[in-house]
Amino acid sequence: MKRSPIGVFDSGYGGLTILKEIRTLLPQYDFIYLGDNARTPYGPRSFDTVYEYTLQSVKWLFSQNCPLIILACNTASAKALRTIQQLYLPEFDKEKRVLGVIRPTAEIIGNYSSSKNIGVLGTKGTVKSESYLIEIEKSFPGIKVFQHACPMWVPLVENNEYNSEGADFFIKKDLNLLLTKSSEIDAVLLACTHYPLLLKKIKKFLPENIKVISQGNIVARSLQDYLTRHPEIDSKCSKNATLEFYTTDSPEDFDKHSEIFFGEKVNSKHTDL
Ligand code: DGL
């Protein structure tokens, strides 16, 4: 039978932190990962550019026979997902599905806060889109959300500086800026799939009473639930437990850096979009 894997997309390596959790929960499925490393970061780019790059990536994953794609990138989910779902799919690919990471996270995040004050850390693009404010308000009206953009964090991670003293400086600075917005924040969401790599340092610089939430497990559970509720999509996803990795940049670099995100060695191939 022809392989029809679930596609997982990110601008670079960050989505591997999501794929890792998805695969742990759904090991029987086939997956194909695409990292647009040649054009990362997406965070500072315009709405139109992120849409164009994301759509190209989605079309490429569809060409690999994916019936379902997860945009494992908050920036792409914030700036491109709705247009893809509402305009592109109904016109060109009615049978296929593209899901993001913002809604599943927003639907659950309120449960982590007793003070009803949540901090959201993301890229400039995610913060500016206000997607989390809008989506959290739908599921948890009355919860206060304080956002802060951390434009240096993705480059620190992508350049393998996530454990350096330089990283300490920017992490401390950004966390302090977030906490000056409200002294009542008791839960901080890492709304960028690169940030879990900085988790140790983030915890070190935050007061102990503040919970830090990564999205991997939340997105994985939400996908599991989606597949149960949509047997017509689930039956299109092949299940031979295979994994493939593609990057728009150098496969050597991708293989070298991806282990820290994915937790195991990967063997990637190059593709142009
Ligand atoms: N990992 C992406 C996210 O979750 C951001 C990386 C980027 O700026 O390209 O937003």
Q: Which residue has the tokens 């639907």?
A: 107
| % of the chain residues with pLDDT over 90 | 93
Cα 149 to ligand 1 centroid, rounded to whole Å: 11
Using alpha carbons, select from 52, 40, 115 the residue that is nearest to residue 79.
52
> Relative to the CA of 14, which ligand 1 atom is closest?
1
Please report the pLDDT score of residue 144 as a whole number: 97
- Bridge partners, 31 (sequence order): 6, 243
Minimum mean pLDDT among 59-73, 106-120, 159-173: which range? 159-173
Which residue of 8, 11, 213 sits with most ligand 1 atoms within 8 Å of its CB, as the best mutation to test the pocket?
A: 11
Q: Note whether 19 and 8 are within 8 A (CB).
A: yes
Average pLDDT over residues 84-93: 92
Mean pLDDT for the chain?
A: 95
Q: Residues lining ligand 1, CB < 6 A? A: 10-12, 14, 40-43, 73-75, 123, 126, 154, 192-194
Which uninterrupted H or E stretch holds 118? strand 117-122
Indicate if the pLDDT at residue 129 is higher than 90: yes
The whole-angstrom separation of Cα 250 and Cα 270 is 6
Domains of the chain: 6-101+217-270 (3.40.50.1860), 103-214 (3.40.50.1860)
Indicate if the pLDDT at residue 70 is higher than 70: yes
The whole-angstrom separation of Cα 65 and Cα 28 is 17
Model confidence over 184-242: pLDDT tens digits? Answer: 999 999 999 999 999 999 999 999 999 999 999 999 999 999 999 999 999 999 999 99
Cα 232 to ligand 1 centroid, rounded to whole Å: 30
Other Cβ atoms less than 10 A from the Cβ of 72: the count is 30
Residue nearest to atom 8 of ligand 1 (CA): 43
Model confidence over 22-48: pLDDT tens digits? Answer: 999 999 999 999 999 999 999 889 999
Please report the pLDDT score of residue 158 as a whole number: 82
Cα 198 to ligand 1 centroid, rounded to whole Å: 14
Which residue of 154, 190, 247 sits with most ligand 1 atoms within 8 Å of its CB, as the best mutation to test the pocket?
A: 154
pLDDT classification of 88: cutoffs 50, 70, 90: very high
Find the angle CA(85)-CA(124)-CA(110) to the nearest 5 degrees: 70
Q: Please list the active-site residues.
A: 73, 192
| DSSP category for residue 194 | T
> Relative to the CA of 44, which ligand 1 atom is closest?
8
Cα 12 to ligand 1 centroid, rounded to whole Å: 7
| Pair type for strands 117-122 and 97-99 | unpaired
> Relative to the CA of 192, which ligand 1 atom is closest?
4
pLDDT classification of 1: cutoffs 50, 70, 90: low
Model confidence over 161-178: pLDDT tens digits? Answer: 889 999 999 999 999 999
The model carries a pTM of 0.94
Model confidence over 135-157: pLDDT tens digits? Answer: 999 999 999 999 999 999 999 98
> Relative to the CA of 78, which ligand 1 atom is closest?
10
The alpha carbon torsion through 52, 97, 195, 41 (nearest 10 deg) reads: -10
